[in-house]
Structure 1
Amino acid sequence: MIPTPLSHIADLLGGRLVVRRDDTPDTLVSGLVDTDSRLIEPGGVFVAKPGETTDGHLFVGTAVERGAVLALVERELDDDVSQIVVPDVVAALGALASDVVARVRAHGDLKIVGITGSNGKTTTKNLLARILEVEGETVAPRASFNNEVGAPLTMLRVTDATRYLVSEFGASAPGAIARLAGLVTPDIGVVLMVGMAHAGGFGGIESTFHAKSELVTATREGGLAVLNADDPRVAAMEPIARERGQDVRWFGRGERAQVRALDVEVSASGTRAELLVDGEPHTLTLRVLGEHHVMNALAALAAATALGVAAADAIARLETVEIAERWRMQPMGSDRVRIINDAYNASPDSMAAALRTLAQITGPGERTVAVLGAMSELGEYADEEHDRVGLLAVRLRIQRIVVIGPEARRMYLEAIAQGSWDGEAVFFADADAAFAYLETELRDGDRVLVKSSNSAGLRHLGDRLGERFA
């Protein structure tokens, strides 16, 4: 965080300043801000966030031991550290982030890019950050820091030297993206796709559309909307952008896109695509597995070139990226038994894309094995969407379908109903039972996809399989 007096923070947040040690209201705070006491560094600010299972106020002492000089709290504590007492520390965190970014922006050259979409946010964020970090100091989220806590924590890492802030915005409910993006008013808003992820919480796909379009509305007037030309719902956000005086930059596979992929070839070593960037031909050899990641690369290219990065330079930097993020299409195992651990998140769209990738990268004499768990946050759509995955796995001729957990059982039942009944499809109640089966079932030449939502916990099964067959 940029140096800020305690009194300024307290006044900004409408909080009560409790001064401890040798501090005064004029004492400057400039350390990193975090809600995890284990990550606090000397000079840091600890946000004592109440949680569902524990309370951050219990860990203020730990934060002080690690060097915290300020705690944002909802009640005054006896710990020997200066405190600002506020009614809601999460709301205070957002307000502090907004203030810091505004002050940096006021006297610097900070450009802000916001990214949202039902799938691909984290990958696109990482790809764009890789491009921009060569141009100047770039701040981007760790992992999937895209909610009411993670997004402000990322914003608070900007300094007077920061040239680019790349923010990822997730949507837990309608209005969430508007609140998060409204903290910083991005110069560029990137919308990747509108799919079924979180549709259960939003009440359907149209509600998801309105939630994702909040980023375009929150992008500054006269800014830029980077939109997926191939997704009709994203394309329908163009009028919103035009009403705000924003230019629109399209990416996709169709002729409308200024940043466009032509021929795409998928292999076990990555994806090769012939591109047109503003009419100029380029070739991209992406080491990240999966044809669907080409669209994420196009979105990153569209934003980066709009910021003045030469297309050839941006493409060369994209080609250095080996994996999008841990547990996202992460190759593990060995050439003998290749494990693809993609179990950090799952939606109907990403599940379908991962299964298609598995089929595409498996050569003659090799066997496709899909290890599948539940997709979360689908609400009333859960049954039919899990059925669709089972059906797709059969239609793609996946040779072994291993379904894990009662929430995912319908995938297995649908696969059986579609003809995968002679041992091709199996079901296990938990990951340990599945691991015991796979230890003896997997053989040389197998290409194994492990895919589920984070809540299913299969990413750890993927790690175990990767170690077992390394």
Structure 2
Amino acid sequence: MRARRLSELVELMQPAAVEVVGDDTVVGPDVVLDNRAATPGSLFVAIPGARVDGHAFAPQAVAAGAAAVLGSSVTEAEVPHILVEDTVQGLSWLARGLVREERARGMASIGVTGSSGKTSTKDLLAQVLEAKGATVAPVGNRNNEIGVPLTACRIDGTTQFLVSEMGSRGIGHIEWLTSLVGLDVGVVLNVGRAHVGEFGGVERTARAKSEIIAGLGSGGWAVLNADDPACRAMRDTTAARVAWFGEGEPPAGDLLVSARDVASDDSARATFTLAVTRDGETASAPVSLRVIGRHQVSNALAAAAAGLAVGMTVPEVAGALSAAEPRSDWRMELVRCDQDRIILNDAYNANPDSMAAALRTAARLIAGQRGRHPGARAVAVLGDMLELGPESGRLHAEAGALAADLGIDEVVSVGEYAGIVAEAARERGIEARVATREEASQLELAPGDLLLVKGSRSVGLELVADAVTKRIGGVPK
């Protein structure tokens, strides 16, 4: 945010109940939650947590340079305080005021949601928009009631585009997030089976995701996946113009964005022709992605549609997509090791759809490896996919079976559902076993072999990828 006095921040936060204790000092530009991230002049937001209370760390934040504290009570830090009843809500009110101010100036606000691919698409979209103007986007997957407003607090008078990634675990979550950042463009990537146990079914998942476009005005843009039936059904839930993206035949819309002549190289990086139809005219440009996986084509089309919706040209979008690099750790992170061995670290999170995408990417990579190493093997370390409810057993069996069907040579499964995954893989005729995370970390790879590591975040399989990488030597590519 732009540096300003506490009284100005209080004005932005209205009509929240706010009290200032201390001098009307100048704070900014940074707003931080972690005392270790405090910078000179920053505003430290003290958020109570399950294990620690941020209020206790206010003195350390001030020692690192923080000029004021946003809290629910006065701390031991000897600086001015903005007091609110709830600091998460206080942060939200601050973000809402800042975004309202900058949107009035002309900043465009874009939100991205979906059952899978949110962070990858957000990273692509940020790099597309950066080719046009100053862009603020989340670091990693800051997509909840804390991450969205914290990201929004980074905007200032130079920001042309704000990108918000929006996660949801139930009805009303995305509606709240959109109320903070007042979207001009809402993107729905897909409606899949992630968190289906929490949502209570795919229909409720679709309803929750559609909240990102429900509040858009007639001048806004709803960017929807034409290849996903649940997304197609959202057309009537918004008054906004519609930009369809996909590889199939799209319905009628104001903007149609598609990929033609899709191909992949031996590193599973896709190339395609970006085709854009608007007002009956079609323009096209070539795209060569640097991110890994055939599924990234859909993510790239979504990013392209959002970029076009805010005024970018087809050549600008295509060039930016071709230059975009991976930005977030443990998401399709390709590690090249000695003796042409490969580790595909996709361990940040997992759901049935992203699991399938990772396995297909591994199958494409090992096919390329076997051109140089005929005996190369593909080994998949697969962890639990969480929050799937009553469908957990069946969906984990589906993952094991798919690994075998795609030609993975060995499955090493970790977690509560490891036995189900391994049994399903063995039934399809491949080698499979249950292991602890420590045992999986001892895997050996022969020249040309591929190791895929994939599981939900809490399983911690990034430790497996890290351990194997350090042992055999490799760097991300």
TM range (shorter): over 0.9
CA distance in 1, matches of 2:418, 2:459: 9
Structure 1 residue 338 corresponds to structure 2 residue 345: no
2:100 match: 102
Shift in alpha-carbon separation, 1:195–1:68, aligned structure 2, 3 A: same
Contact 1:266 1:361 in 2 (8 A): no
- Aligned pairs for 1:37-56 (under 5 A) are 37-56=35-54
Give CA deviations for 1:296-315 in whole Å, capped at 9, x if unaligned: 00001111112221212221
Structure 1 unaligned regions, length at least 5: none
Alignment TM-score, normalising by the size of structure 2: 0.92
CA distance in 2, matches of 1:426, 1:268: 28
- Aligned pairs for 1:137-148 (under 5 A) are 137-148=134-145
CA distance in 2, matches of 1:376, 1:267: 32
Structure 1 residue 273 corresponds to structure 2 residue 283: no
Provide the aligned C-alpha RMSD in A.
Answer: 1.6
Give CA deviations for 1:158-180 in whole Å, capped at 9, x if unaligned: 10111111111111322110000
Shift in alpha-carbon separation, 1:43–1:316, aligned structure 2, 3 A: same
Structure 1 residue 435 corresponds to structure 2 residue 429: no
- Selected match of 2:361 from 344, 351, 357: 357
Give CA deviations for 1:53-111 in whole Å, capped at 9, x if unaligned: 211111111111111111111222232111122111001111110001111222x2201
2:110 match: 113
What amino acid is aligned across from residue 105 of structure 1 in structure 2?
R
Shift in alpha-carbon separation, 1:324–1:389, aligned structure 2, 3 A: farther
Structure 1 residue 316 corresponds to structure 2 residue 323: no
How far 1:405 sits from its partner (Å)? 2.1
- Aligned pairs for 1:362-381 (under 5 A) are 362-363=366-367, 364=370, 365=374, 366-381=376-391
Structure 2 unaligned regions, length at least 5: none
Contact 1:268 1:289 in 2 (8 A): no
CA distance in 2, matches of 1:250, 1:235: 9
1:466 match: 469
How far 1:324 sits from its partner (Å)? 4.9
Structure 1 residue 413 corresponds to structure 2 residue 423: yes
2:19 match: 16
What amino acid is aligned across from residue 156 of structure 1 in structure 2?
C
CA distance in 2, matches of 1:468, 1:237: 49
Give CA deviations for 1:274-328 in whole Å, capped at 9, x if unaligned: 3322222322111211010100000011111122212122212211223252111
- Selected match of 1:219 from 212, 216, 238: 216
Bigger drift between 58-67 and 357-366 goes to: 357-366
What amino acid is aligned across from residue 153 of structure 1 in structure 2?
L
Contact 1:186 1:220 in 2 (8 A): no
Structure 1 residue 454 corresponds to structure 2 residue 457: yes
CA distance in 2, matches of 1:393, 1:36: 41
- Selected match of 1:136 from 122, 133, 137: 133
How far 1:30 sits from its partner (Å)? 2.4
Contact 2:170 2:205 in 1 (8 A): no
How far 1:454 sits from its partner (Å)? 1.0
Which secondary structure does the structure 2 equivalent of 1:406 belong to? coil
CA distance in 2, matches of 1:96, 1:433: 47
Which secondary structure does the structure 2 equivalent of 1:362 belong to? helix
Alignment TM-score, normalising by the size of structure 1: 0.93
Structure 1 residue 403 corresponds to structure 2 residue 419: no
CA distance in 1, matches of 2:463, 2:428: 30
Give CA deviations for 1:219-247 in whole Å, capped at 9, x if unaligned: 33431101000000011110112xx2x11
Structure 1 residue 284 corresponds to structure 2 residue 294: no
Give CA deviations for 1:367-400 in whole Å, capped at 9, x if unaligned: 2211111112222222111111011111112101
